Amino acid sequence: MTISAATPYLIVGGKSERAIALYQAAFGAEVTRLQRFGDMNQDCPEAEKHRVMHAELAFGGATIMLSDGNAEMPPPGGVVRIALNLDDPDQAKKCFDVLAESGQAIHPLFDAPWGALFGVVQDELGVNWMFNCTKP
């Protein structure tokens, strides 16, 4: 198994537009990806369609990801998650299951619409891990 990156993922409670502007001003960050909830699900409530589901910002050699998050409640375990990119679905499942055994699967692994195996688990220490494994 190769983990190619561990990237901070910020859940900013509906303030993604402000966070993007701030990081652009402070760091010269470039938005390399931006998806809104309405882009992925046209049936979501109208008030949610323009909220940022996922954004990636690059500056220097660094990348951060962020999201407005769920409008109804803050995420369990806080507002920072560690996003892992993996290359082996079997190993991703094994690692996920080990963390979930003593922690909690927030979003069980599933076949995501972007062509990856994706899931979120909170470990027993309260750290949230986002697994993204590109399928062969």
| Contact between 34 and 55 (Cβ < 8 Å) | yes
Report the predicted TM-score, pTM, of the whole model to 2 decimal places.
Answer: 0.71
pLDDT in tens, 76-119: 666 778 888 888 999 889 889 998 998 899 999 999 988 999 99
For residue 75, the model assigns a pLDDT of 63
| Contact between 119 and 109 (Cβ < 8 Å) | yes
pLDDT in tens, 6-53: 899 988 888 889 889 988 997 889 999 999 999 988 898 998 999 999
Kindly tell me if the per-residue pLDDT of 59 is higher than 70: yes
For residue 21, the model assigns a pLDDT of 92
| Contact between 109 and 92 (Cβ < 8 Å) | yes
Q: Which of 80, 114, 108 is nearest to 93 (CA)?
A: 108
Residue at 105: amino acid letter:
A
Strand partners, 32: none
